[in-house]
């Protein structure tokens, strides 16, 4: 059973701080890694994807990938109350036709 693990949280950070979200995966054949944000009662929204080892930055968001350790992380700088949501980590399979999601980490940014 291919698995993606996340700490369910909640992760509470003060406004303006850096939020660090982590994810581990079991399938060494995975090539693509995604972070989705999901507000309560809404559908997931893609915020970052990463293919290569290292860091990828987009605005306040940085995704980090370490394939040797099977570890993906998401850093959110200057966290805002509007960042409060559940963050889902997802990885693809060898066939490239499905995503396996983690259970999500609930982030709370306190003003």
Partner 1 sequence: ETGVTQSPTHLIKTRGQQVTLRCSSQSGHNTVSWYQQALGQGPQFIFQYYREEENGRGNFPPRFSGLQFPNYSSELNVNALELDDSALYLCASSRDRNMVGYTFGSGTRLTVV
Tell me the closest approach of the beta carbon of residue 102 to partner 1, in angstroms: 5
Interaction of residue 61 with partner 1, rule CB under 8 A: no
Distance between the two ends of the chain, CA-based, in angstroms?
40
102 forms part of the interface with partner 1 (CB under 8 A): yes
What DSSP designation does 59 have? T
Residue 15 CB, shortest distance to partner 1, in Å, is 26
Concatenating the DSSP letter of every residue in 26-56 gives --TT---EEEEEE-TTS--EEEEEE-SSEEE
Segment 17-36, which members bind partner 1 (CB under 8 A)? 32, 34
Q: Pick from 85, 5, 8: which is nearest to 47 by CA?
A: 85
The residue ranges that bind partner 1 (CB under 8 A) are: 4, 6, 32, 34, 42-46, 49, 88, 90, 92, 95-104
């Amino acid at each position: 059973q291919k698995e993606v693990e996340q700490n369910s949280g909640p992760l509470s950070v003060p406004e303006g701080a850096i939020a660090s979200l982590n994810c581990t995966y079991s399938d060494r054949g995975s090539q693509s890694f995604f972070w989705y944000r999901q507000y309560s009662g809404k559908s997931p929204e893609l915020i970052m994807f990463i293919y290569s080892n290292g860091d990828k930055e987009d605005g306040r968001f940085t995704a980090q990938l370490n394939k040797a350790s099977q570890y993906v992380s998401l850093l959110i700088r200057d966290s805002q109350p509007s960042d409060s949501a559940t963050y889902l980590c997802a990885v693809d399979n060898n066939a490239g036709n499905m995503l396996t999601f983690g259970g999500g980490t609930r982030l709370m940014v306190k003003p």
